[in-house]
Amino acid sequence: MKIAVLLSGGVDSSVALRLLQKEGHDLTAFYLKIWLQDEFSFLGECPWEEDLEYVRSVCKQAGVPLEILSLQTEYWDTVVTYTISEIKEGRTPNPDMFCNSLIKFGQFYDKIDKSFEKVASGHYAAVEKANPSDLGGLQRPTGGLYQLKRSPDPVKDQTYFLAYLTQHQLSRALFPLGRYKKTEVRKFADEFDLPNKNRKDSQGICFLGQIKFNEFIRHHLGEKKGDIIEIETGEKKGSHEGYYYYTIGQRSGLGLSHGPWYVVKKDVKNNIVYISKENKSERSRDNFEAGRFNWISGHKPAEKNLQVKIRHGANFYNCELDFTDEDTAQVKLETPDQGIAPGQFAVFYKDELCLGGGVIL
């Protein structure tokens, strides 16, 4: 097949490229320039330059052509504006979710030549066509129903971040690492003697690179002086530079004596941060409301008893999903969780299948 391969400079996407090359496909590598580093040049060297250096080395070694595509404007208009808006509203954003659905498997699809049959990446996930017998009463889309399946590596599995893909996007997506664990991918990197074989996995928000999150917030939202108040007594304990610098449950960085103090509530309208000596965010909950769903099949699930992830990682909960209307549902967890926050995503599963997700309201 003729395949466009998304390369980031990391080990995973580089191994994906070499595995596809080994299978004999016609490959072109693409590096997407989405960093916002140009406006943060005062902070020092841009990490995307290091990424691009690794990408060029990997492509040169493999003899695969490389194209560099800037999607900074598109990225700003979708992912970054969403991130800033969520922070401003006092919620917890997840920009990686939209980086995949709106950019890597969205805008990128529209930018490249239609002759590319697939777009491949180094995600730990798999795409499979469903057997007609597995579909029950579901109407089958033209060309068959594409399903998103979990990786055998429970820690690295990235289906959580792919839960907002559509049938059209999945029909063109290819994840060569879908059947491997991270340890196996590292072995492949050694076997291929990749230039970046010893490079560590990247952490943090996809578009920030080495920029500290607070620097990003300060640049876009500035400072807004407000009070820090003890929630039980109403007594002012200090001042802050903006409620958006704080997250519920936060303990460090408050700069207050006689602690420990925890952030327990934020009054967005009045710019007040409430604190307590008790971490009230650790009070467990076993239910929440979710909405703004994306169902990968195009239909909400017929079954109520599913599994759910409320953050990326290996941890699942058995749950019951009860729709209150077309796009809102109550989610009841089998066991309580301590970190349920508005703005986060709940992603639903039936065994190995990722069904889609919704926003925690």
Catalytic residues: 99, 206
Structure tokens at 360: 């925690």
Closest by Cα among 111, 181, 173, 129 to 151 = 181
Closest by Cα among 243, 249, 244, 245 to 262 = 249
List all residues 6 or more positions away from 298 whose beta carbon is below 8 Å from its beta carbon: 141, 166, 167
d(CA 79, CA 59): 28
At residue 325, the 3 state secondary structure works out as strand
Closest by Cα among 159, 176, 192 to 311 = 159
Structure tokens at 278: 């008790």
At residue 136, the 3 state secondary structure works out as coil
d(CA 228, CA 152): 46
Count of beta carbons in the 10 Å neighbourhood of residue 302 = 9
Phi/psi-derived region of residue 313, left when phi > 0, alpha when psi is between -120 and 50, beta in every other case: left
At residue 232, the 3 state secondary structure works out as coil
